[in-house]
Amino acid sequence: MKPPVIAPITFHKRVRPETAQVTVTPAAARQILIAAEGADADGFALRIAARRNATGAIDYAMGFDTEREGDLTLTSEGIALVVGAGQCELVDGMTLDFVEFEPGDFRFIFINPNDAGTPPPADAAGAAP
């Protein structure tokens, strides 16, 4: 009986995907659909724009728009999103949520691991580090 052939172990460098991943929460998706209906923006995608400011934090903007040449297009929670090609790295891994800060004060928030201005998530005990 021949001994089994064992293939050598090969380590591969992890390659970042060419597309950015953006997650829209269900709460944000509901609000985006309400806003699109009110703005008569059916058929338009939600453009997310991002740029790094002088402090290293990321400034965000969003609005309904059409796709342009070079844009990245994605879908999350049924929402069509577009991001400019030069901004994909800034928004990769980001979550767009819609939360109540205080009673009656609802806002969109960007939770982004690439943003120095985003506070770190709470630890396992539920308290911020």
Q: Is 31 a member of any domain? A: yes
Which residues does 65 contact at the CB level (< 8 Å), separation at least 6? 44, 45, 46, 47, 82
Q: Is 43 a member of any domain? A: yes
C-alpha angle with apex 81: 117 to 85, nearest 5 degrees?
70
Q: Is 126 a member of any domain? A: no
- What is the value of pTM for the model shown? 0.74
Instruction: List, for residues 40-77, the tens digit of each pLDDT value.
Output: 998 899 999 999 999 889 999 999 999 999 999 999 99
Number of domains in the chain: 1
Six-digit token pair at 1? 């009986």
User: What CATH number does residue 62 fall under?
Assistant: 2.60.300.12
Q: Which domain holds residue 33?
A: 22-111
Q: Is 71 a member of any domain? A: yes
Give the pLDDT band of residue 116 (cuts 50, 70, 90): confident
Q: Is 8 a member of any domain? A: no
Tokens 């396992």 locate to: 124
